Amino acid sequence: QSVLTQPPSASETPGQRVTISCSGSSSNIGRKPVNWYQQLPGAAPKLLIYRSSQRPSGVPDRFSGSKSGTSASLAISGLQSEDEADYYCAAWDDSLNGYVFGTGTKVTVL
């Protein structure tokens, strides 16, 4: 099963901004919306961004998403220690007739 490509790690000091990329193809990100998930250690994934750029209620506006062509990105501004987690992107893939997930990015707050 193909995957969406993310950098394995990202780090920044508190208060700074970190951006995570998610690279796909024309059969997934290029034509379908992207969701982003946050997975804290030992916990289930939690929806962070849906429809590429929308935040569910309760998610701080420090988190933002965007999509262009076959790539998407997640930005976390005003980084806080509680943001240390793994982050995954996901999209439906028309060729595979299933979901594909990103490889995951571990965010560390220095």
Partner 1 sequence: EVQLVESGGGLLQPGGSLRLSCAVSGFTFSNYWMNWVRQAPGKGLVWVSIINNEGSDTSYADSVKGRFTIFRDNAKNTLFLQMNSLRPEDTGVYYCGRDGDGDDPIDYWGQGTLVTVSS
Binding of partner 1 at residue 110 (CB under 8 A)?
Answer: no
Closest separation between CB of residue 45 and partner 1, Å?
5
Identify the residue among 44, 58, 61, 68 touching partner 1 (CB under 8 A): 44
Interface pattern 4-43 for partner 1 (x via CB under 8 A): ----------------------------xxxx-x-x----
Q: Which of 41, 61, 83, 82 is nearest to 49 (CA)?
A: 61
Binding of partner 1 at residue 106 (CB under 8 A)?
Answer: no
User: Any residues with CB less than 8 A from the CB of 52 and at least 6 apart, and which?
Assistant: 33, 34, 65, 66, 67, 72
Binding of partner 1 at residue 91 (CB under 8 A)?
Answer: yes
Vertex 46, ends 58 and 99: CA angle to 5°?
A: 130
> CA separation (Å) from 56 to 44, 64, 70?
17, 11, 23
Write out the residues near partner 1 by the rule CB under 8 A. Answer: 1, 3, 32-35, 37, 39, 44-47, 50-51, 56, 86, 88, 90-92, 97-104
